């Protein structure tokens, strides 16, 4: 039966029992109760540390075991007499925490307990070893139970319930526990209340209110907590209160037992002490009144720790064995036994780690379910008497204690949020926050209002300016456009009337005639204008939208800020849009400018057609354009002023190829007017044109660029700049790659102009200018040949001047570069402009004797003779004659050839 038995001298084992020697470190190890529990905490009010690991509801807990002490009552007077000749049935070895139970004179059994208290043990010591650790545990937040078990008359009540009114040293565990609890709680923050009950015949009676005699047990299904909500709870403030309660309880117990015709030894007396303590976790710092930064910090967590101390003075254990046999009333015996035997069974089941613990079998076990094998720290004191006559009872009591020692508990702290005080604190904090929030909200609202107003003003100002500028631009553009269209139409009608509509249109509209291109361009400009009007409309809509957004601007909250940001973004978009419109406008205007040029050109062409012989003189591109500009300076100049040279030049670098070519055309046309040339060059236009020539393969661009350069090359300063910037090379390369005669004509025109500069002679020749010029003659197109001839004539004139001035000596570089055969070949060209240029060139070459031999061998003499006789221009004719007469070599040759 008994476990952990140490059989005197033999050390034999029985069943599942473990020998003491082998289990020295097991659950019977005589370790002090105190050593297994957490150290006592600092219970100063408001600062008790929190042991988180043991919080209620958590799975964690402190493992513990039911601690069992045995106490031997001294012999009483009756025993001293009756058992005078007999030794006590037990012998205690308190230093070894062992108890020897004598079976007879020669045999005994030894048992070890957590504490062995002799008949001399003081009440104080008993309290300290049995109850104090439990009480400390309760103060720490754990539930705790102290039970006294033993045969009637062995001192259970003496141990637990003695009041010690006369002699304080006689005070029992109940009084001492309360004394300790009261000394450690704070009356301001903590509370202690007491219920005092009696369990008799499976009925719980309230010893503090006898009318309350059938109290039910309530178990929390989640936590397993047991409570008696029907029981009277009396708050205890001091020891006197408590003594009074105990007295009242005792009186009621006696009265109840008299009424029920029973003895106190048949009932279980249960004292429940409920301790509620306020604690704060280490991390829960309450913000100080002045600490503003913590307004938004985590709110403090006031916790309340609830624990209970249950002190049970059990009914006499002898009833378990002796009831029925001693003839007690059946019901009573059943009931008394029921609870106590159920307790025994539960302890057995727990000790053996049985799967089923019959807790629900009795009220007592239900009431103690969280004590034995539950979440409470439990201490059991078994009381025994010394009399050998009661050896049986004593043995069974000891074995009960031994089994209880094997019961493991899992201690848990029960902690709850103190919602009331948390709510109070939060309310105060909330009030503060609301006030602060209101203050900030007001500041914010004022600020939003101010910003809104400012934004509104700014937007309406920008809107006004923008709308005004837009309207002005639009009207201006529209008017100019209408004017141009009108003029063009008038001109066209006029011309149609003059030459007959069909013939002209046939002539001019074939391919890329100026008429068709203008109609197309006009349509294009019309389209662009419509686009611009549409964009303006869109911009206006955007402005309206902005306006309405401003109107809807919410007057509070963060929306205000984001609304302003939106407005600012919209404003920036608006500015971008305006810039884009302005760019469009520049393009439109420059297109208009180009159209004007082309219209002029058409007018010139039509004029030329009208009077076939009106065109004469040297046909440089510049002169063509310049002619066209005469009489039309006003619209062109006006447009030019409006658009601005810088903006047109900027368009040269546009990413849009159409815009680029268009801009080049405008620049070329502008360059035709001498007044503009200087400005164009100053603004970097020449450099831009040369860059274009260098970087674009597109012949259309090259052609127009070459035209523009040709125009700029009219000016002596510009000629030098063109040379310095490597223009002759670029023009030569362009010439060698060109396929379109128009391109060749422009390049040749440009080089021809450069050829007329005295200072550039050497450089021009050394950089292949002459060869490039002659190379272009390959195409045979009269316009190109005319420019080539002009270049040769210009060059020959300068060279001749240099030779006359002594700057140059030796044969003409034109002869060196092989120009003579071409000159001779074309000297009598059908095209009069070509003929004139070559005739002049021949005269210049013939001025210098050094060229005479080559000229004679190349056949130039014959041409000179022809010029001197047949040239239609008197001045050239006489120049040739004079030259021939002055040259001894020519004269000698003529004589030799018998030419008069």
Binding residues: 150-157
Please state the three-class secondary structure of 414-466 as a single string: CEEECHHHHHHHHHHHHHHHHHHHHHHHHHHHHHHHHHHHHHHHHHHHHHHHH
757 binds, among ligand ADP, Mg ion, none (CB under 5 to 8 A by kind): none
The contacts of residue 649 (CB under 8 Å, 6+ apart) are: 663, 667, 680, 683, 684, 685, 688
392 binds, among ligand ADP, Mg ion, none (CB under 5 to 8 A by kind): none
Report the residue number, 256 or 792, with the smaller CB distance to ligand ADP.
256
- Here the tokens at position 820 are 């003579």
Instruction: Say how many CA atoms lie within 13 Å of 647 toward its Cβ.
Output: 18
Report the residue number, 157 or 191, with the smaller CB distance to Mg ion.
157
Count how many residues are written for the chain: 900
Residue 149 binds ligand ADP (CB under 6 A): no
Instruction: Judge contact between 223 and 57, C-beta under 8 A.
Output: yes
Please report how close the Cβ of residue 95 comes to ligand ADP at its closest, in angstroms: 19
Site string for ligand ADP, 237-266 (x = CB under 6 A): ----------------------------x-
Report the residue number, 267 or 396, with the smaller CB distance to Mg ion.
267
Please report how close the Cβ of residue 157 comes to Mg ion at its closest, in angstroms: 3
* Nearest C-alpha neighbor of 18 from the set 343, 351, 384, 345: 351
Interface with ligand ADP (CB under 6 A), residue from 154, 365, 718, 719: 154
Instruction: Judge contact between 286 and 425, C-beta under 8 A.
Output: yes
158 binds, among Mg ion, ligand ADP, none (CB under 5 to 8 A by kind): ligand ADP
The contacts of residue 247 (CB under 8 Å, 6+ apart) are: 163
Residue 172 binds ligand ADP (CB under 6 A): no
Residue 153 binds ligand ADP (CB under 6 A): yes
Interface with ligand ADP (CB under 6 A), residue from 157, 205, 761, 826: 157
Residue 80 binds ligand ADP (CB under 6 A): no
Residue 152 binds ligand ADP (CB under 6 A): yes
Residue 156 binds ligand ADP (CB under 6 A): yes
Report the residue number, 197 or 661, with the smaller CB distance to Mg ion.
197
Please report how close the Cβ of residue 391 comes to ligand ADP at its closest, in angstroms: 17
Please report how close the Cβ of residue 269 comes to Mg ion at its closest, in angstroms: 8
800 binds, among Mg ion, ligand ADP, none (CB under 5 to 8 A by kind): none
Report the residue number, 317 or 786, with the smaller CB distance to ligand ADP.
317
The 10 Å CB-count burial string (b at 16+, else e) for 233-265 is ebebeeeebbbebbebbbebbeebbeebebebb
List interacting residues with Mg ion (CB under 5 A). 156-157
Please report how close the Cβ of residue 199 comes to ligand ADP at its closest, in angstroms: 15
Residue 73 binds ligand ADP (CB under 6 A): yes
Element (H, E) at 226: strand 226-227
- Here the tokens at position 536 are 């303006």
Residues binding ligand ADP: number (CB under 6 A): 14
The contacts of residue 124 (CB under 8 Å, 6+ apart) are: 169, 176
Task: Find the part of the chain contacting ligand ADP (CB under 6 A) among 24-32, 147-155, 527-535, 609-617.
Answer: 147-155
Please report how close the Cβ of residue 385 comes to ligand ADP at its closest, in angstroms: 8
Site residues for ligand ADP, window 367-396 (CB under 6 A)? Answer: 383
Please report how close the Cβ of residue 264 comes to Mg ion at its closest, in angstroms: 6
Interface with ligand ADP (CB under 6 A), residue from 64, 133, 155, 741: 155
Report the residue number whose CB is nearest to Mg ion.
157
Whole-angstrom distance, CA of residue 759 vs CA of residue 626: 26
Report the residue number, 178 or 382, with the smaller CB distance to ligand ADP.
382
601 binds, among Mg ion, ligand ADP, none (CB under 5 to 8 A by kind): none
Whole-angstrom distance, CA of residue 53 vs CA of residue 42: 18
From the CB of residue 412, how many other CB atoms can be counted at a distance below 10 Å?
A: 26
- Here the tokens at position 613 are 């012989």
267 binds, among ligand ADP, Mg ion, none (CB under 5 to 8 A by kind): none
Q: Strands 115-117, 67-72: parallel, antiparallel or unpaired by DSSP?
A: parallel
Task: Find the part of the chain contacting ligand ADP (CB under 6 A) among 44-52, 153-161, 217-225, 534-542.
Answer: 153-161
Please report how close the Cβ of residue 265 comes to Mg ion at its closest, in angstroms: 6
Whole-angstrom distance, CA of residue 872 vs CA of residue 883: 17
* Nearest C-alpha neighbor of 791 from the set 816, 830, 760, 828: 760
Element (H, E) at 92: strand 90-93
Report the residue number whose CB is nearest to ligand ADP.
155
- Here the tokens at position 169 are 């040293």
Task: Find the part of the chain contacting ligand ADP (CB under 6 A) among 149-157, 338-346, 605-613, 815-823.
Answer: 149-157
What is the sign, positive or negative, of the torsion defined by CA atoms of 575, 577, 581, 587?
positive
Please report how close the Cβ of residue 126 comes to ligand ADP at its closest, in angstroms: 8
Give the residue ranges of the annotated binding site for ATP: 150-157
Please report how close the Cβ of residue 318 comes to Mg ion at its closest, in angstroms: 12
Strand order in the sheet with 90-93: 5-7, 108-112, 98-102, 90-93
The packing angle between helices 741-755 and 727-737, to 10°, is 150
The packing angle between helices 419-499 and 633-643, to 10°, is 160
Whole-angstrom distance, CA of residue 806 vs CA of residue 63: 127
Interface with ligand ADP (CB under 6 A), residue from 158, 466, 597, 640: 158
Please report how close the Cβ of residue 77 comes to ligand ADP at its closest, in angstroms: 10
The packing angle between helices 699-712 and 727-737, to 10°, is 140
Whole-angstrom distance, CA of residue 467 vs CA of residue 584: 17
Interface with ligand ADP (CB under 6 A), residue from 64, 141, 144, 150: 150
Tokens 């409470």, located at residue: 376
Task: Find the part of the chain contacting ligand ADP (CB under 6 A) among 155-163, 320-328, 348-356, 391-399.
Answer: 155-163
Residue 822 binds ligand ADP (CB under 6 A): no
Report the residue number, 362 or 397, with the smaller CB distance to ligand ADP.
397
Whole-angstrom distance, CA of residue 473 vs CA of residue 467: 10
- Here the tokens at position 330 are 């059946």
Interface with ligand ADP (CB under 6 A), residue from 9, 11, 57, 74: 74
Residue 743 binds ligand ADP (CB under 6 A): no
Please report how close the Cβ of residue 152 comes to ligand ADP at its closest, in angstroms: 4
Site string for ligand ADP, 302-341 (x = CB under 6 A): --------------x-------------------------
Whole-angstrom distance, CA of residue 763 vs CA of residue 82: 155
Given the rule CB under 6 A, which residues bind ligand ADP?
A: 73-74, 76, 150, 152-158, 265, 316, 383
């Amino acid at each position: 039966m008994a476990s952990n038995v140490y059989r005197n001298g033999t050390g034999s084992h029985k069943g599942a029992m473990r020998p003491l020697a082998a289990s020295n470190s097991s659950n019977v190890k005589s370790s002090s109760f105190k050593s297994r529990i957490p150290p006592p905490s600092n219970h100063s009010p408001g600062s008790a540390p929190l042991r988180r690991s043991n919080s209620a509801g958590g799975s964690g807990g402190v493992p513990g075991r039911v601690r069992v002490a045995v106490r031997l009552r001294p012999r009483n007077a009756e025993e001293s007499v009756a058992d005078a000749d007999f030794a006590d049935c037990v012998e205690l070895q308190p230093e070894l925490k062992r108890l020897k139970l004598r079976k007879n004179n020669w045999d005994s059994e030894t048992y070890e307990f957590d504490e062995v208290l002799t008949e001399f043990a003081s009440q104080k010591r008993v309290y300290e070893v049995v109850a104090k650790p439990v009480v400390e545990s309760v103060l720490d937040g754990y539930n705790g139970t102290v039970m006294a078990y033993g045969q009637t008359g062995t001192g259970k009540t003496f141990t637990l319930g003695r009041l010690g009114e006369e002699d304080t040293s006689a005070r029992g565990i109940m009084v001492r526990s309360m004394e300790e609890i009261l000394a450690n709680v704070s009356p301001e923050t903590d509370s202690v209340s007491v219920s005092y009950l009696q369990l008799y015949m499976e009925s719980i009676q309230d010893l503090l209110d006898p009318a309350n005699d059938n109290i039910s047990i309530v178990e929390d299904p989640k936590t397993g907590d047991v409570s008696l909500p029907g029981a009277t709870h009396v708050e205890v403030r001091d020891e006197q209160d408590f003594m009074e309660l105990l007295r009242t309880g005792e009186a009621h117990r006696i009265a109840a037992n008299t009424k029920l015709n029973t003895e106190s030894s048949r009932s279980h007396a249960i004292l429940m002490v409920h301790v509620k303590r306020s604690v704060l976790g280490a991390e829960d710092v309450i913000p100080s009144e002045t600490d503003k930064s913590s307004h938004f910090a985590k709110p403090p967590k006031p916790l309340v720790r609830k624990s209970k101390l249950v002190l049970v003075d059990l009914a006499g254990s002898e009833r378990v064995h002796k009831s029925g046999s001693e003839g007690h009333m059946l019901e009573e015996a059943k009931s008394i036994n029921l609870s106590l035997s159920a307790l025994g069974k539960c302890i057995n089941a727990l000790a053996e780690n049985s799967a089923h613990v019959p807790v629900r079998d009795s009220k007592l076990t239900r009431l103690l379910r969280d004590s034995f094998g539950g979440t409470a720290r439990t201490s059991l004191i078994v009381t025994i008497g010394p009399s050998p006559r009661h050896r049986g009872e004593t043995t069974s009591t000891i074995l009960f204690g031994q089994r209880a020692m094997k019961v493991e508990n899992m201690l848990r702290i029960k902690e709850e949020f103190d919602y009331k005080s948390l709510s109070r604190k939060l309310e105060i904090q909330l009030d503060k926050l609301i006030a602060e929030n209101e203050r900030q909200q007001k500041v914010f609202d004022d600020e939003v209002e101010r910003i809104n107003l400012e934004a509104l003003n700014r937007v309406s100002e920008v809107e006004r300016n923008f709308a005004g500028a837009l309207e002005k631009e639009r009207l201006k553009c529209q008017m100019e456009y209408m004017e141009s269209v009108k003029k063009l139409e008038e001109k066209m009608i006029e011309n149609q009337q003059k030459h007959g509509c069909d013939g002209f249109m046939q002539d001019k509209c074939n391919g890329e005639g100026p008429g068709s291109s203008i109609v197309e361009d006009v349509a294009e400009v019309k389209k662009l204008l419509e686009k611009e009007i549409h964009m303006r409309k869109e911009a206006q809509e955007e402005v309206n939208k902005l306006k309405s957004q401003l109107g809807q601007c919410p007057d509070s909250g963060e929306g205000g800020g984001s609304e302003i940001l939106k407005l600012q973004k919209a404003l920036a978009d608006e500015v971008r849009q305006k810039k884009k419109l302005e760019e469009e406008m520049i393009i439109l205007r420059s297109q208009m400018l180009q159209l004007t040029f082309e219209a002029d050109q058409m007018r010139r062409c039509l004029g030329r057609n009208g009077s076939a012989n009106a065109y004469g003189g040297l046909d440089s591109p510049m002169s063509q354009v310049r002619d066209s500009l005469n009489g039309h300076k006003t619209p062109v100049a006006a447009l030019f002023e409006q658009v601005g040279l810088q903006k047109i030049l900027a368009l040269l670098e546009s990413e849009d190829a159409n815009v680029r070519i268009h801009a080049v055309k405008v620049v070329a046309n502008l360059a035709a007017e001498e007044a503009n040339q200087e400005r164009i060059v100053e603004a970097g236009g020449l450099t831009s044109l040369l860059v274009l020539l260098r970087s674009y393969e597109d012949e259309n661009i090259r052609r127009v660029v070459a035209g523009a350069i040709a125009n700029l090359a009219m000016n002596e300063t510009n000629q030098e700049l063109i040379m310095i910037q490597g223009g002759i090379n670029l023009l030569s390369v362009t010439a060698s790659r060109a396929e379109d005669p128009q391109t060749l004509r422009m390049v040749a025109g440009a080089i021809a102009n450069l050829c007329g500069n005295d200072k550039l002679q050497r450089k021009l020749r050394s950089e292949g200018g002459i060869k490039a010029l002659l190379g272009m003659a390959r195409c045979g197109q009269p316009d190109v040949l005319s420019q080539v001839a002009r270049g040769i004539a210009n060059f020959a004139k300068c060279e001749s001047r240099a030779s006359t001035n002594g700057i140059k000596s030796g044969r003409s570089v034109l002869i060196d570069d092989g120009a003579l055969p071409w000159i001779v070949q074309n000297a009598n060209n059908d095209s009069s402009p070509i003929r004139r240029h070559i005739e002049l060139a021949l005269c210049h070459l013939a001025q210098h004797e050094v060229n005479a031999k080559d000229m004679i061998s190349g056949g130039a003499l014959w041409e000179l003779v022809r010029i001197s006789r047949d040239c239609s221009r008197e001045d050239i004719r006489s120049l040739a004659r004079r030259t021939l007469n002055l040259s001894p070599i020519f004269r000698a040759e003529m004589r030799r050839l018998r030419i008069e």
